[in-house]
Structure 1
Amino acid sequence: MTAPPMTTPPATPAPPGRRPRPTSVRRLFVVLAGLLIPAVLGYLGLRLHHRLNTIDMPPGDTAPQGGYTLTVYFTPSEAYYHGPQRSIRRQVCPGQNLPDAFPTDYLERVGMEGFGKTARGDYLGWDFDRHCYFATGRPPVGSHDNPLVPWQSVAANHLSPGTRIRVTDCGPGVPGETCTRVKAAHWRVDDLCSIGCDTARHLDLYIGEQTRTAIEDETYYFITKAATIRAQAPEALRR
């Protein structure tokens, strides 16, 4: 049995008023769609990442927000620590020239606070990512390599860098004189909180370098869990 002759189906006429789309144009649309879809998905992915890691504050001051935990952090000074010496020879960052050992209690503080002033006048830093010590002549810096300013810099994990903070109520347990100073300060998010800041409503306030031995006994070394704040987005996010 012979195969039936090949036939070409009749072309379907185009609807009135609409011209048939040429093949080259159709290909162009396919190429453009292939380029546009990944770009849109990439943009949405970046937006989602931003949403998961920061809270965009609306323009101007927000309404007071309660339920904030406030803690403080500082730069420990080796002069006030006298524990047994501990070697850091195997924990020195590559290319660094550091003393072999420091007081153990001092190193514990540096590992928690991020930086410490040494007896020789420079600073010992702890790299949280590489887990090693390094030396620097610069005062402590924040997560964006910006200088930390006492009674101004704030470490937070869920607010955009540059967000301005005003504490309107310290919550219970903060001495009156200390609370007055905290409320009068113009705080700003300059750093990330590497230890202890597990919730969005946790701010770590930087109070500067240690000047006394028992800093935990000072009135300005406090923890409160019911503070109220007002926040203002950075200028760049309000445009």
Structure 2
Amino acid sequence: MAATDDILTRPQIDDALAGLPDWRYRLGGLVTVYKAPTAAAALELIAAVGRLAEEQNHHPDLDWRYNRVFLRYSSHDAGTEVTPRDVKAATAVSAAAAEAGAGAEPGLYRSVDIAIDSDDPAGISEVWRVALGYRKGRFGDLVDPYGRGPGLWFQETSTPNDNRIHLDIHRSKAESGAVLDKTAATGALMNRDHAPNWVVVTDAQGNRLCLCTEEGHGPDLPEQAPPG
């Protein structure tokens, strides 16, 4: 079991990532995507990741898509935060990927959360938790215990928007610029008041989404919720 005093602060995480160019920080975890030369090579990389996980007794969330392997490390027993075990595991996986001839494409790792405006989150959250089969997360949010579905959180406000549901799309700051430019080129309204933490996007029919980065997130930082 990991103690909460093992949790790395954002500066410590950023220092670790300086030596892990394949990886990015994302909502309490380290994430990346590896592209292998072939699907068979991707399976060999997955097997190597599995062996490392057993040796270290620390297992990632892993998703295989043809010749790409999506990976996320987080210490669930430390409250779903980053600890030295995640850094150690990511370092070992980077070496295994290099040996397998797999290249890192961390910009492909996209996370999507669903946000609901509410003046009484406690009055509705249990309905969504039970219906989805989710559990309560770190900050009153709801998360899929198997890491498959999008996260769900409730934005408490005394003036809920007419469109109460919106998406938060998380990408790494390093790769977010191109997406912001392409989104703006569609003619959407771009509210950059809180950039680079998030940009509120509104389409021509008034539907909203937030394009978010890792800025402003971390165990030692006050959790900032996009206003959507």
TM-score range, shorter chain: under 0.3
Higher RCO (Cα < 8 Å, 6 or more apart): 1
The normalised TM-score by structure 1 is 0.23
* Structure index of larger Rg: 1
The normalised TM-score by structure 2 is 0.24
Larger relative helix fraction: 2
